[in-house]
Amino acid sequence: MVALAVPHVRCATCRRPLVPRLVATGCPSCGDIGEIDWSPPTIDGDDLPPFLAWAPLGTDPVTLGEGRTPLVPVARWGDRFGLSHARAKLEYISPTGSFKDRGTAAVVTHARAIGAGSLSEDSSGNAGASLAAYGARAGIPVRVYVPESASGVKVAQISAVGAEVIRVPGSRRGVTEAAIAHARDTGGYYAGHNANPYFTLGMASLAFELAPDPPDHLVMPVGGGSLFVGVALAFAAMGGLRRVTRLHAVQPAGCAPIVAAYERGEPVVAPIDRHATIASGAEIETPPRGRQILDVLALSGGRAIAVTDAELLAHREALAHAEGIDVEPTAALALAGAARLRARGVLVDDESVVIVLTGAGYKVAS
């Protein structure tokens, strides 16, 4: 094992160093998120560096073989929507079936590097399942706090690898507070994927895989925005956001705070009127990276758009039947969003488009 210094995480606004175990709780002074200084790898043609080898993690990565996901044409789906040159980045082909594994690998590596004795998280979805698996891989006990109503395939996936599932009655905010309190009270590590800068760092790796042949457009689902911001940080580090790839954010119409702020031209996210959606992975009413996401949209010339649950279901089925690729409803956000952007003339057929498919269809009970 190569021992390196673990860098300080500092507040993005006031530069105060954050407690390493609690980097995901944000700055105690001003409330902003933490950030890490890092440099991108040198990418020579198609010769990519090993996953996270470039990241300032302080130790060898905890890995289950994440990253380097397939990039495949989806012309039979795309032909129906004027997107015959579209390609899909198959993030659901990851160790636990979702894109979260890129970020979780970095988070658990950081936790191990600082000697964390336990990990806690608040997620009944893909992030919880991913953390449970990587915690097991690292030999660190994991406790995942979920809403009382949580059930289904993802909770089973968390339990199957030995993590403890704790049900918390009441508000979603209460679930988060319970996960943070556990870390504070026990000296454990709060993984907090939506605001953990190591999670975003892992997400940056996706951009390096696209760097040898960067698309004109990259379409992603956005909930907490860790993928969107991580990819943007990588493109920025590689020489600018404006010049090559436009990053588009797609949200469910029932919970679209980024779209609301974008359409009003506001620099920060405001409270929204929320409705039920089947895109549960993107139901984040107040994303901690809201301001960053809006900054990236402005810098890269991307659009933020909302799509309905009916569109999600239609595109999920259209992709599955045309290409043999079954994704979960949240992942279908990017498909429906790309089709809408094409209909509006933001995408044109001779430009290259990559659609990020974040989670597997088997993640939801049918």
Distance CA 312, CA 318 (A): 10
Report the Cα–Cα distance between both ends of the chain, in Å, rounded: 44
Cβ nearer to Zn ion, comparing 30 with 160: 30
Tokens of 356: 């990020």
CB of 14 to Zn ion, least distance (A): 3
**Identity of residue 355:** I
Distance CA 198, CA 249 (A): 21
CB of 269 to Zn ion, least distance (A): 18
Q: Distance of alpha carbon 213 from its chain centroid, rounded?
A: 22
Cβ nearer to Zn ion, comparing 12 with 244: 12
- Binding-site ranges for Zn ion (CB under 5 A): 11, 13-14, 27, 29-30, 32
In contact, 2 and 59? CB cutoff 8 Å: yes
CB of 225 to Zn ion, least distance (A): 19
CB of 297 to Zn ion, least distance (A): 24
CB of 198 to Zn ion, least distance (A): 18
CB of 30 to Zn ion, least distance (A): 3
Cβ nearer to Zn ion, comparing 16 with 167: 16
Cβ nearer to Zn ion, comparing 4 with 14: 14
Cβ nearer to Zn ion, comparing 32 with 323: 32
What is the CB neighbour count within 10 angstroms for residue 111?
Answer: 28
CB of 13 to Zn ion, least distance (A): 5
On the CB side of 302, CA atoms within 13 Å amount to 33
Cβ nearer to Zn ion, comparing 34 with 78: 34
What are the b/e assignments for 200-233, b being 16+ CB within 10 Å? bbbbbbbbbbbbeeebebbbbbbbbbbbbbbbbb
Cβ nearer to Zn ion, comparing 14 with 53: 14
Distance CA 13, CA 199 (A): 19
Distance CA 320, CA 361 (A): 9
For residue 232, the 8-state DSSP code is H
**Identity of residue 10:** R
In contact, 288 and 224? CB cutoff 8 Å: yes
Look at residues 340, 28, 35, 348 and name the one whose alpha carbon lies nearest to residue 195: 35
CB of 6 to Zn ion, least distance (A): 20
Cβ nearer to Zn ion, comparing 10 with 85: 10
**Identity of residue 308:** T
Distance CA 206, CA 208 (A): 5
Cβ nearer to Zn ion, comparing 26 with 215: 26
CB of 26 to Zn ion, least distance (A): 8
Across-strand partners of 246?
217
